[in-house]
């Protein structure tokens, strides 16, 4: 796919991403036995590529499901409230649940999901993210498994979109001149 190099610069090569995902998988595998029931919950749409690569490196008794959130009443001055557009269809009882994100920014969407899954009383609840824009956090929520801590910048590729485009790029690119 064509990338305008005046606008974007390469941030992570596919090779570097492979290393980050491998490291995430190793962390998760250390904490979960081969016989343990683990449900990976991917947050649509951005986490689809991370999910596909991560799930194939986990050695537990893994299931996969997805959720999708939306911001209601979002305006230029307010972030709005988060709501669930798509829920999981698998029971979380007796299951270790891991919410999988490609990137955490303000943390609003994740905080909403975390609280919601917590109230469903899974065996344990953890968060895995490929990237963490830690300095942008506005609410008190964090990830248990972090691939890479990144600065405040706009990133595309490997699931991350620019107005729904660029999710298919195998590498990650950053916007050169954010406004
Ligand atoms: P928040 O943590 O609730 O602010 O939202 C995080 C979500 O916003 C992520 O899961 C992404 O879908 C999206 N997002 C955050 N930062 C970026 C970025 O740099 N590029 C593309 N999408 C992003
Ligand atoms: Mg996301």
Atom of ligand 1 nearest to the CA of 109: 3
User: Residue-wise pLDDT tens for the chain (179 aa)?
Assistant: 678 888 999 999 999 999 999 999 999 999 999 999 999 999 999 999 999 999 999 999 999 999 999 988 876 666 779 999 999 999 999 999 999 999 999 999 999 999 999 999 999 999 999 999 999 999 999 999 999 999 999 999 999 999 999 999 999 999 998 76
Q: Which residues pair with 1 in a beta bridge?
A: none
Can you say how many angstroms the Cα of residue 7 is from the centroid of all Cα atoms in its chain? 25
Residue of 42, 105, 141 with the most ligand 1 atoms within 8 Å of its CB, for mutation = 105
DSSP 121: -
Do 87 and 67 meet the contact criterion of CB atoms below 8 Å apart? yes
Indicate which residues carry an active-site annotation: 105
Q: Does the CA dihedral 131-71-164-87 come out positive or negative?
A: positive
Q: Is the CB of 103 under 6 A from ligand 1?
A: yes
Q: Is the CB of 40 under 6 A from ligand 1?
A: no
In degrees, rounded to 5, the angle at the alpha carbon of residue 28 between the alpha carbons of residues 12 and 93 is: 130
In degrees, rounded to 5, the angle at the alpha carbon of residue 66 between the alpha carbons of residues 94 and 61 is: 40
Q: What is the pTM of this model?
A: 0.95
pLDDT of residue 79: 73
pLDDT of residue 77: 62
Strand order, beta sheet including 155-156 = 8-12, 172-175, 155-156
Count CA within 13 A, CB hemisphere, residue 143. Answer: 30
Residues 137 and 142: their CA atoms lie apart, in Å, by: 9
**Cβ burial, residue 161 (10 Å; 0-12/13-18/19+):** middle
State in Å: Cα 36 to ligand 1 middle.
30
pLDDT of residue 179: 66
**Cβ burial, residue 121 (10 Å; 0-12/13-18/19+):** exposed
């Amino acid at each position: 796919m064509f990338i305008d190099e005046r606008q974007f610069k390469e941030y992570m090569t596919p090779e570097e991403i492979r290393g980050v995902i491998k490291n995430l998988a190793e962390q998760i595998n250390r904490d979960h036995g081969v016989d343990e029931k683990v449900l990976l919950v991917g947050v649509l749409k951005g986490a689809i590529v991370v999910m596909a690569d991560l799930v194939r490196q986990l050695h537990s008794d893994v299931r996969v499901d997805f959720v999708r959130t939306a911001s209601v009443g979002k305006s230029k001055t307010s972030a709005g409230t988060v709501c669930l557009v798509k829920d999981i269809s698998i029971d979380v009882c007796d299951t270790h649940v891991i919410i999988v994100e490609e990137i955490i920014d303000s943390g609003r969407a994740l905080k909403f999901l975390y609280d919601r899954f917590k109230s469903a009383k899974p065996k344990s609840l953890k968060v895995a993210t490929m990237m963490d824009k830690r300095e942008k956090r506005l609410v008190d929520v964090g990830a248990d498994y972090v691939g890479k801590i990144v600065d405040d910048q706009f990133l595309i590729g490997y699931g991350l979109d620019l107005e729904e485009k660029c999710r298919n790029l195998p590498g990650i690119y950053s916007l050169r001149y954010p406004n």
